[in-house]
Amino acid sequence: MQVEIIITLRESILDPKGKASHHALENLGFEDIKGVRIGKFIQLEVDTTDPQKAREVAREASEKLLANTVMENYEIRIPDNA
């Protein structure tokens, strides 16, 4: 089944990519956009039908490799159509 991992920079960490995109959007006339933060979206295909097992594999993979837990937060989501 498919699991989604959303990795974002911790609030306290400066987000230069987000700032650059925000600036570019303002130049394109997007005045309603007050902030932009950019992170990673990871889709794992896990060989199980058990959402709990899939969530645990994703958590472990995030802790061990995919997320830099000093600077980043990660959130695990199981899509409705998983």
State the nearest-atom distance from the C-beta of 36 to a copy of itself, in Å.
6
The residue among 65 and 70 lying less far from a copy of itself, judged by its C-beta, is: 65
State the nearest-atom distance from the C-beta of 14 to a copy of itself, in Å.
15
Q: By the criterion CB under 8 A, which residues form the site for a copy of itself? A: 6-8, 18, 21, 24-25, 28, 30-48, 53, 57, 60-61, 64-66
The residue among 34 and 70 lying less far from a copy of itself, judged by its C-beta, is: 34
Rounded Cα gap, residues 35 and 31, in angstroms = 10
Rounded Cα gap, residues 48 and 60, in angstroms = 15
**Could you give the dihedral angle defined by the CA atoms of residues 5, 9, 12 and 15, in that order, rounded to the nearest 10 degrees?**
-150
